[in-house]
Amino acid sequence: MRKFIIFLILAMFVQFTYGQNVRRSVISSFGSKGNPVNGVILRSTVAQPPNAGTIKNSQNNLRQGFQQPQPLRCQNAPQAAFLIDSTRSGNCGWDYRFIYTEDSEAETMFSWTFSPDGIPSTSTEENPLDVTFGGSGQKEITLVVTTENCSYDTTYTFEYIQPTFSVDLNITDVDCFGNETGIIEPTVIGGLFPFSFNWSNGSENTVLTSLPSGDYGYTIVDNDSCVVEGIVPIIEPDTLDGFFSSTGTSCGNSPDGTIDATIFGGTEPYFFEWSNGEMTEDLGDLPIGNYLLEVTDAEGCSMFLDVLIESACLELDFKNLFSPNGDGSNEIWEITNIDQYPFNNLELYNRWGSLVYEQESYDNSWTGVNNDGYALPVGAYYYIMKLNDENETVHTGSVTILR
């Protein structure tokens, strides 16, 4: 009984003498021990709750377990209590409003803090409106209410899930240059059925077909007036085209012509088909003739090239006179382009039919002499030029020597 009386007296002493340092006012168990030097130590024996602590000074030690009420002057001040309400917004998100549920006073001030991605992030209004968030996740809302020197705060955390209303677009581009084969097929994700579609080309269809290349804007509205919009490009390949280089057959119509084709545009890979049955891009060992190439690209677009292979052999030009007189002008008998026939044979006859000059592989070197090297008299001489080509071509005519 004596210990209990001492405990009550000391509890009152601690409360009124050191009240400014005491955070707890209810002790769940009682006990004390005296110390004439250091004063009295009071203890409680229940499990200590979160945020409960020990208050002590040089003479007293008090461990407590329950929240001490605000000072009497603050107990009737407006506290921090609110409700959260939300509505769907036109851009397919949520707009939040925060409703203060206490009776505020004229001097009451409000300080709201929303999660880091809150828009806005803070507010001093009593009932903030039109608050949104940047994305899904935990959102922490803190309200601090201050009336004169009295302050209360409340923090509320909730899981925010961003509403899903989006569109997945399946796009088919134009296959060949200039065609109208583009397709846009939208698939709506989320939102509230039914949906309305408005396209920049004036269509209200869900799927667009037979489109030429270009940009197509879209606006999709669900039954809750949420909106998804954007622009879809439909592209087309460049024109499938090409060119070629070729070489004609050599003299004698040898089958050695070539075609080198170059293809561009369209959609690779390319596929080739020649009129002679070949399936390669380039051709070689070709005789004289016309060759048609059809090129088809990966999208089935096609184009044609028409190539003519001619003889690359130039015509021979036989001069009909020359003057080997030593003046340095017109000294030799010249046959233009004879070098294309390196296996030729030349025979020269006088007017009586006698062979006066002969040369294998004539190379424009005859100076009007006979086979013995003596100068022939002026006059007309008759030639037989055998080209010795595949066609056994022979040229005949006359040449006159002047001095």
**Short-list 92, 261, 273, CA closest to 188:** 92
Q: Is 296 exposed, middle or buried (0-12, 13-18, 19+ CB in 10 A)?
A: middle
With a cut of 90, say whether residue 344 has pLDDT above it: yes
With a cut of 90, say whether residue 65 has pLDDT above it: no
Is 349 within the bounds of a domain?
Answer: yes
Higher pLDDT: 131 or 23? It is 131
| The pLDDT value given to residue 52 | 40
**Short-list 130, 139, 131, CA closest to 159:** 139
Instruction: Please say which residue of 200, 234, 268 terminates a domain.
Output: 234
* Residues 112/143, Cβ–Cβ less than 8 Å: yes
* Residues 348/382, Cβ–Cβ less than 8 Å: yes
Instruction: Please say which residue of 135, 160, 185 terminates a domain.
Output: 160
Q: Which amino acid is present at 354?
A: S
What's the DSSP call for residue 337? T
The Cα diameter of the chain in Å comes to: 174
* Residues 364/338, Cβ–Cβ less than 8 Å: yes
- Averaged pLDDT, 282-287: 96
Instruction: Note whether 88 and 155 are same-domain residues.
Output: yes
With a cut of 60, say whether residue 4 has pLDDT above it: no
**Residue whose structure tokens are 């039919």:** 353
Q: Domain containing 392: what range? A: 317-401
Reported as a single tens digit per residue, the pLDDT across 200-233 is 999 999 999 999 999 999 999 988 778 899 999 9
| The pLDDT value given to residue 69 | 57
In the structure, what pLDDT confidence band is assigned to residue 136 with cuts at 50, 70 and 90? Answer: confident
In the structure, what pLDDT confidence band is assigned to residue 92 with cuts at 50, 70 and 90? Answer: low
Is 75 within the bounds of a domain?
Answer: no
CATH number at residue 138: 2.60.40.10
Q: How far is CA 187 from the centre of its chain?
A: 22
The whole-chain average pLDDT of the chain stands at 83
Q: How many domains, in total, are found in the chain?
A: 5
Is 43 within the bounds of a domain?
Answer: yes
